[in-house]
Amino acid sequence: MKIIATNRKASFEYFLLDKYQAGIALKGSEVKSIRNNGVVLEDAFVVIRGTKVILKNMYVKQYDKTSSFALDERRDRQLLLNKKEILKLERELKDVGLTIVPTKIYFEKNLVKIEISLAKGKKLYDKRESIKQKELLREKSRHIFG
């Protein structure tokens, strides 16, 4: 498994609950661009429309050597999940009031996969607590190693 990009902002903004692995329906030279690390997940999010799971606002840089087949860099991309998983995600979104965020994109056996997570938004005081924990860990590591 070769990790291409991670969404570090997601773990700061949300409590990540369940993780799912999905494939992405890509077109043209998007795979080559992703292979060259031309992808950004920071502002991406996932919506469910009927029986389709759609990844919105993921930036995939246009491949340098593409001739006339140019795609929109932030177009909607369909995620490939089992019907049971889609129904479970839809149920969770309606009942609990959670959201779905992409956390990382990677290659697995030459296929582009994305890890999505059910997430619950953090409040401001939760974010402050996360920052405080990171600072404590940093101080401990400085004290031990430095």
CATH classification at residue 89: 2.40.280.10
What is the CB neighbour count within 10 angstroms for residue 142?
Answer: 9
What pLDDT score was predicted for residue 146?
Answer: 63
Query: What is the maximum span of the chain, computed from C-alpha positions, in angstroms?
Result: 56
CA angle 45, 51, 54 (to 5 degrees): 20
Residues 89-138: tens digit of each pLDDT: 888 888 777 889 999 999 998 899 999 999 888 888 778 888 888 888 88
Question: Is the distance from CB of 46 to CB of 12 less than 8 angstroms?
Answer: no
CA distance 42 to 40: 6
> Looking at the predicted structure, is the pLDDT value of residue 65 above 70?
yes
Give me the domain span that covers residue 50.
Answer: 2-145
> Looking at the predicted structure, is the pLDDT value of residue 68 above 80?
no
Question: Is the distance from CB of 20 to CB of 85 less than 8 angstroms?
Answer: yes
What's the structural domain count of the chain? 1
Dihedral of alpha carbons 88, 114, 13, 54, sign = negative
- The fraction of the chain above a pLDDT of 90, given in percent, is 26
DSSP 8-state secondary structure symbol assigned to residue 61:
P
Average pLDDT, stretch 26-52?
87
CA distance 108 to 78: 18
